[in-house]
Structure 1
Amino acid sequence: MGDSSDNALSIWLEQAPLADLIAASGSLRDEGHGRSISYSRKVFIPLTHLCRDVCHYCAFAERPHAGRPAYLSPNEVLAVARAGAAAGCTEALFTLGDKPELRYRAAREALDALGYETTIDYLQAMCAVVLRETGLLPHANPGIMSRSEIAGLRTVSASQGIMLESLSARLCEPGGVHYGSPDKQPEARLETLRLAGELRVPFTTGILIGIGETRAERLEALFAIRDLHRGFGHVQEVIVQNFRAKAATKLAGAVEPDLDDLVWSIAAARLILGPAMNIQAPPNLSPGVYPRLIAAGINDWGGISPVTPDHVNPEAPWPAIEELAERTAAAGKLLAHRLPIYPSYARDLAGWSAPEVATQVRRLSDAEGLARGDDWAPGTKATPRMPPVHARSVDPAIVHIIARAQGGARLDAPEIVQLFAARDADCQRVVAAADELRRATSGDIVRYVVNRNINYTNICAYRCQFCAFSKGKTHEALRGAPYDLALDEIVRRAIEAWERGATEVCLQGGIHPSYTGETYLGICCAIKAAVPDMHIHAFSPLEVTQGAATLGMPVRSFLAKLKAAGLSTLPGTAAEILDDEVRAVICADKVTTAEWLDVASTAHGLGLRTTSTIMYGHIEHPLSWARHLLALRDLQIETGGFTEFVPLPFVHMEAPMYLKGAARRGPTFREAVLMHAVARLALHPHITNIQTSWVKMGPQGAAACLNAGANDLGGTLMNESISRAAGTEHGQEFPPEAMEDLIRSLGRTPEQRTTLYGSVPAERRATSLNAAALAPVVLTPPRKLIAAE
């Protein structure tokens, strides 16, 4: 045993009333995990039932049988994995016996025929095949492993595990359940656990209760796990598993631990391992008593398979996942689908995963590091759906945060993060509250602007990792040829837009290395000369900064010249995420957070209003979203210059950082809807217009956001280029008639607006509703060489 504090804790655990332990454990669990109880949706792949050990309680291990293959074949492994992937699983759990080739010639011969020397060599190969062919994340439980075996499996698995079971040496002596099982020696299992820590492998372990150990020996095992985790931080979950007697084993008639014993062990694990540890009890081994297990301090149900049985406990069927969600909700908690690698490790993949594994984790995970839970992604035509609601109540903390926001209070970052983490009934309440606030703020009118996007060049000297639009030496493989619009083509498009009822042209482009501030001034002057009444909404803070630098003048002076040349407002793009930790990765050479805010502030001071945006769903996490929203809110209080807030979900398909495996697949639909809802709450009452992007969300997604706090549908666009380059499947124009049909379908009233939310003359509206087809655009080839990068 450890120090005096451990001894005192052990005495208390063995002597205190069970009710006191449960209360303390449940409170500690809530401190670390709130209302969430997670599970992993898995498929169970028993690679081999052969094992050199003879544990007296095990029904999984078998002896070789004539005519029965010793191992699943690669085709059989893939068939099971593909069935799991089709059923929405994210984990492939490989379970097998310990090193059967050391005991059975049949195992050695089968491995030789497959082309492998050891069972773990074959396991590594099958993990690789499953990962690459199905996208499922392997979790491997092969027993005792050497350093090289753990390291090899790390390259193709998201996590690994070995049940410590017990540190009782007595159990390995004659008469003990582990007698004759060399791999159950406590020292060997602890060494595997220690090596996994040194190699930074997210690791599963746990105890098996009721196999002859004492309670003091259970505590000894839990303290040993805690100490190893303190040293390496790698134990991602601890399972408290109750022995179940099985027919045809030496313990077939043994007495199973009762529920109080299991509950005591769970509480002891929580109280020893602390609030942050993930503590699991398999639900199929304790049917009908879920509330007791939850009360005792678990926060995870482990792996549940909709496809395969529990091959280790075949007598105990898995609960249906929908039933598990309902029963978890009945106990006041919310079921959350996780990956085999837990969120805290998924948020630090550089430290905990091999590159190929990390890529797939990102593609399967949401912003919190949990499983995405849907097939939708921004820019796709997959049907967007919010997750089902099971809970009967809403977290009082969520209710309190909402009330503060509706009252106009400045939420702090942890409160905003908590709103973004809302799921189930909590999420439903956040969305409803945002919609209530939208109705109180702007009524049932949904506004939109008839405008045209003019992206004057896709040539860019910057290297933003998210951008599939820009062209340069490092982006030549991306879709579309480089272009640099001639001034007369820009003017032609502006004239045509006016003739089709537009009140605004929105101009943005790449940072062409040959452009100067005079380029931007010339564009404004030419458009104003041709279409004097057109509102010019142009030039992100990055373009403004670059233009000012080329003319050797302060940003303020350059903005004043742009205003005099006809610039009316600025788009609040190039913000991406106003968190420099994220910007250092995705756009290291771009303006910093402070520089972006300074340009916006300066523009506001000159009477040039701007929009504000966020581009989310790539590498950042909810804390970055909170920082971003608070930065915008604070500046709006100071200047009042933002007209609206526009969430722009990351479109992943052609983005360089996604193609390199370094980004997620954009936000989930729940996250995208919550971004609009939380923005409405967090920015209230200072930014009153929340716009949804039909280009990225699609019409159905945009409709959902209009029922979640948004009150604006943005622009008709006419020529959307940037999202199309990234791979969005939605159109380049959303004409007024279609916008108004969508708005009316929601029981809301459509209204055309100007860029500054003024009324549109009747002539403009009438013209927009009878617009001729667009003439083909001309993409002027580059007139200047792209600068070397």
Structure 2
Amino acid sequence: MNIHQHRTLISSIMGADDISGLMAESRAKRDAGFGSIVTYSPKVFIPLTKACRDVCHYCTFAKPLRSGQKAYLEPEEVLEIARQGEKAGCSEALFTLGEKPELRYKAAREALDRLGFETTLDYLAHVAGLVRDQTTLLPHLNPGTLTREEFAQLRPFAASMGMMLETTSERLSARGGPHFGSPDKAPRVRLDTLDAAGQAGVAFTTGLLVGIGETREERIDAILKIRASHERYGHVQEVIIQNFLPKPDTKMRAFPPADPFEHQWTIAAARLLLPDDISLQAPPNLAAGSGAELLEAGINDWGGVSPVTIDHVNPEAPWPSLDRLSDITASRGKTLAPRLTIYPRFLKNAETWLDPKMRTGVLRASDAEGLAFEGRWTPGALEAPPVIRPGGSVDPAIREILDLPPGTELDERQIVSLFAARGKSFHAVCDHADRLRQSVNGDEIHYVVTRNINYTNVCTYSCAFCAFSKGKTHETLRGPAYDLDMKEFARRVSEAWDRGGTEICLQGGIHPGYTGETYLNLLRVARQAAPGIHIHAFSPLEIWQGARSIGLSLTEFLSLLKEAGLSSLPGTAAEILDDEIRALIAPDKITTDQWFDVMEAAHGLGLKSTSTIMYGHVEAPVNWARHLLRLRRHQLKFHGFTEFVPLPFVALEAPMYLRGHSRRGPTWREAVLMHAVARIVFHGVIDHIQTSWVKMGPKGAEVCLRSGADDLGGTLMNESITRAAGAVHGQEFAPWQMEDLIRSIGREPVQRSTVYGPVSEERRQRAMQAAPLDAMVNTPFTGKRLRQSQQA
């Protein structure tokens, strides 16, 4: 926008008496930038001290210290409030406090001395650090005016900070004005603080207080000064447009409340004048009406809402319940979503905006979009899946995608939009996916009777997500290193066949002593032990490593493997097929192109494979979209994938989670959407979508079967990799249990072969009547190379 256009816009805003048009423009800009989501921050309010050196004439938060009155909350009291919020599902600890009370009150100085601190800021840093380190809450600090050096002091203890600019009117600090006698409310001091936050690299919240005697021109001036500071430093994440309400026992108790018309006008003006990426907020508990009028004016955020503590700044105004807030939001076609105290675009650049000591907590509190992790469900654990309310209306952008002809190739942006679905949009995506599933597979839900045999957990690679492999960097992970001898390996293969198995799935670590001959020998032993079994074996990484170790091309090596008994490949080692992410989680592993090179060679020889994704760690929905599109385009050319298997990241024992470098897995919503969106993207290209009961749990798998999935995967008999990462599921899900689950949702169970062929009645009956498994023996790793000629 050039200077002339800017002046024209300001002139039109200033002259707007009928603000309906202004608000419509504001909403259009809001919707273009933020879509159908309206956010809020679930928080607890921690009033560290209500003592303040300022005497704002409308404030009931700051109170003069009386004789015998405590000046500060004790550390134990701070932690108790924080823990109550933690139990209630909050993610933010909002520290509010008066400005520098030690400069005014002897009692404050004495209290600080007793606590062992020189200043209020020193004590704030200490207790915020306790909350950071001893709870899952993210501190947001509102200590008032600060210098750049003071911001730097507090930055390691805060995910974000804030200070209301309130006004740039010098008049209001003169005698008789609301800020008279309050040196920290001088506009220049507060503008300096706003700039200092940017200079210190702090994600910052600021805002205006409407109705304390300022004019429209002065409000516009304040908005433009916020804009100018943000253009210099890029640090303003949200602007609050708060309406003044008079309070008893203040000098301004007889002053009229802010005119609702002026409040809405200011919201619309701020939306139109501020940069597109700044969120606009108005407190719902202070709304003159239901709050819907604030959405009409252009806000996209409700601010902090607490299920635990009152609004200590406005104690007379209770928070609306989250159900009520959700209903108000839905009344305007929007969907309510929780966020963190730091906004997603700042989290994407965490190195700039977060101190290293804050990054782990923020990452673990976030979902893939950088909003708040919802619920307590995580993959592989026992927590019950949450219920997602069908609030709001279907996002028009999502409805447009769902209305496309089935099988249309979506672009990256459209797929990302589907992954962002919440509320009613989430249910619309899942229902659409389920209809596509019905059109392809009818009421049939498939499963396969298989045994996983992980023949070694010794690995030369150090993938950041893997809790299974054992090597120099993984010595502390669960379980000892092992390398099966061939007798035990053959026994497990034979036992799988005797128990009705139609498939064995073979995968292991990249053992330093293994070569291509080792993999060939494994196949020969397996084929001898059970001639009729389907051998589903070796990840693309193992294929790549095996071929290189004996100097063969991929096609040459795969041909030998096929001759030795290889029947199909698991499409694992894919993780995220986007090298931007692979460089972070597995930098020494095969690249995306190399993974597809293996698949192209295998599919060219007539070997089928599965395809997978492992998601919920450091990647974003755009990386999911790239992964799905790359698989789709390969399948259109080579037709080798039998199914797609979403594998949610199990974080508990994973190295990168333990080091604080990853999220805690996908949210429930994200995990279900991965199945639904995959069905939509792959319609007509990959017919089968499998859900992992090991990672989703039986209840989670049931929901996925209603959201586009048609396959329950394998009975497994044994599973080591996911359980090593901390999952509680994974030993065996017997055929009769699978069939009971499938029938419970009104579907027809179908036992299948690995490549979706029929299974003989003899195999079915044997599987249904399988004897208990014999005890397994994992041969301890001695550090010696496996003898390739060793036979069972």
TM-score exceeds 0.5: yes
For 2:157, what is the secondary structure of its paired residue?
coil
Structure 1 residue 444: deviation in Å?
A: 0.7
Q: What residue identity is the alignment partner of 2:312?
A: H
Give structure 1 stretches of 5+ with no counterpart. Answer: none
2:329 counterpart residue number: 328
Distance in 2 between residues matched to 1:786 and 1:189, nearest whole Å: 69
1:553 counterpart residue number: 552
Q: What residue identity is the alignment partner of 1:6?
A: H
Q: Deviations over 1:449-495 (max 9, x none)?
A: 10100111100001100000000011000001001111222111100
Distance in 2 between residues matched to 1:708 and 1:196, nearest whole Å: 46
Q: What residue identity is the alignment partner of 1:715?
A: G
**Would the aligned equivalents of 1:446 and 1:712 in 2 still touch at CA under 8 Å?**
yes
**Would the aligned equivalents of 1:139 and 1:160 in 2 still touch at CA under 8 Å?**
yes
Distance in 1 between residues matched to 2:136 and 2:680, nearest whole Å: 37
1:576 aligns with 2:575: yes
1:458 aligns with 2:457: yes
Distance in 1 between residues matched to 2:784 and 2:52, nearest whole Å: 67
For 1:536, what is the secondary structure of its paired residue?
strand
Q: What residue identity is the alignment partner of 1:229?
A: H
**Would the aligned equivalents of 2:722 and 2:730 in 1 still touch at CA under 8 Å?**
no
1:378 counterpart residue number: 379
For 1:623, what is the secondary structure of its paired residue?
helix
For 1:567, what is the secondary structure of its paired residue?
coil
1:285 aligns with 2:286: yes
TM-score, scaled relative to structure 1: 0.98
Structure 1 residue 287: deviation in Å?
A: 4.5
1:596 counterpart residue number: 595
For 1:760, what is the secondary structure of its paired residue?
coil
1:58 counterpart residue number: 59
Structure 1 residue 299: deviation in Å?
A: 0.2
Answer with 759-768 or 127-136: which moved more.
Answer: 127-136
Distance in 2 between residues matched to 1:10 and 1:561, nearest whole Å: 74
Distance in 1 between residues matched to 2:179 and 2:52, nearest whole Å: 13
Structure 1 residue 148: deviation in Å?
A: 2.4
1:772 counterpart residue number: 771
**Would the aligned equivalents of 1:28 and 1:274 in 2 still touch at CA under 8 Å?**
no
Distance in 1 between residues matched to 2:130 and 2:214, nearest whole Å: 40
2:174 counterpart residue number: 173
Answer with 272-281 or 89-98: which moved more.
Answer: 272-281
Q: Deviations over 1:330-369 (max 9, x none)?
A: 1211111111111212233222212232111111111111
| Aligned pairs for 1:329-728 within 5 A | 329-391=330-392, 393-404=393-404, 407-728=406-727
2:147 counterpart residue number: 146
Structure 1 residue 186: deviation in Å?
A: 1.4
Distance in 2 between residues matched to 1:593 and 1:569, nearest whole Å: 20
Structure 1 residue 89: deviation in Å?
A: 1.1
Q: Deviations over 1:30-88 (max 9, x none)?
A: 00111111001111111111100111111111111112101111121112111111111
**Would the aligned equivalents of 2:260 and 2:288 in 1 still touch at CA under 8 Å?**
no
Distance in 2 between residues matched to 1:282 and 1:425, nearest whole Å: 25
Answer with 26-35 or 592-601: which moved more.
Answer: 592-601
2:14 counterpart residue number: 14
| Aligned pairs for 1:106-121 within 5 A | 106-121=107-122
Structure 1 residue 531: deviation in Å?
A: 1.5
Distance in 2 between residues matched to 1:552 and 1:596, nearest whole Å: 18
**Would the aligned equivalents of 1:737 and 1:769 in 2 still touch at CA under 8 Å?**
yes
Structure 1 residue 275: deviation in Å?
A: 2.8
Structure 1 residue 191: deviation in Å?
A: 1.5
| Aligned pairs for 1:259-270 within 5 A | 259-270=260-271
Report the aligned-residue RMSD. 1.3
**Would the aligned equivalents of 1:386 and 1:670 in 2 still touch at CA under 8 Å?**
no
Q: What residue identity is the alignment partner of 1:303?
A: G
Distance in 2 between residues matched to 1:8 and 1:466, nearest whole Å: 54
For 2:567, what is the secondary structure of its paired residue?
strand
| Aligned pairs for 1:128-167 within 5 A | 128-167=129-168
Distance in 2 between residues matched to 1:170 and 1:747, nearest whole Å: 72
**Would the aligned equivalents of 1:29 and 1:276 in 2 still touch at CA under 8 Å?**
no
Count, aligned residues: 784
1:28 counterpart residue number: 29
**Would the aligned equivalents of 1:347 and 1:368 in 2 still touch at CA under 8 Å?**
no
| Aligned pairs for 1:38-117 within 5 A | 38-117=39-118
Q: Deviations over 1:182-220 (max 9, x none)?
A: 111112111111121122111100111111211111111
Distance in 2 between residues matched to 1:3 and 1:99, nearest whole Å: 41
1:738 counterpart residue number: 737
Answer with 259-268 or 481-490: which moved more.
Answer: 481-490
For 1:741, what is the secondary structure of its paired residue?
helix
Answer with 268-277 or 20-29: which moved more.
Answer: 268-277
**Would the aligned equivalents of 2:715 and 2:735 in 1 still touch at CA under 8 Å?**
yes
Structure 1 residue 161: deviation in Å?
A: 0.4
Answer with 71-80 or 651-660: which moved more.
Answer: 71-80
Q: What residue identity is the alignment partner of 2:557?
A: F
**Would the aligned equivalents of 2:514 and 2:785 in 1 still touch at CA under 8 Å?**
no
**Would the aligned equivalents of 2:499 and 2:770 in 1 still touch at CA under 8 Å?**
yes
Percentage identity across aligned positions?
A: 58
Distance in 2 between residues matched to 1:565 and 1:607, nearest whole Å: 15
Structure 1 residue 785: deviation in Å?
A: 4.9
Structure 1 residue 26: deviation in Å?
A: 0.4
Q: What residue identity is the alignment partner of 1:244?
A: L
For 1:155, what is the secondary structure of its paired residue?
helix
Q: Deviations over 1:684-723 (max 9, x none)?
A: 1100000000110110001110111000011111110000
Give structure 2 stretches of 5+ with no counterpart. Answer: 787-792
Structure 1 residue 563: deviation in Å?
A: 0.7
For 2:511, what is the secondary structure of its paired residue?
coil
Structure 1 residue 8: deviation in Å?
A: 2.6
Distance in 1 between residues matched to 2:129 and 2:73, nearest whole Å: 15
Structure 1 residue 9: deviation in Å?
A: 2.4
Distance in 2 between residues matched to 1:156 and 1:785, nearest whole Å: 49
Distance in 2 between residues matched to 1:733 and 1:359, nearest whole Å: 35
For 1:777, what is the secondary structure of its paired residue?
coil
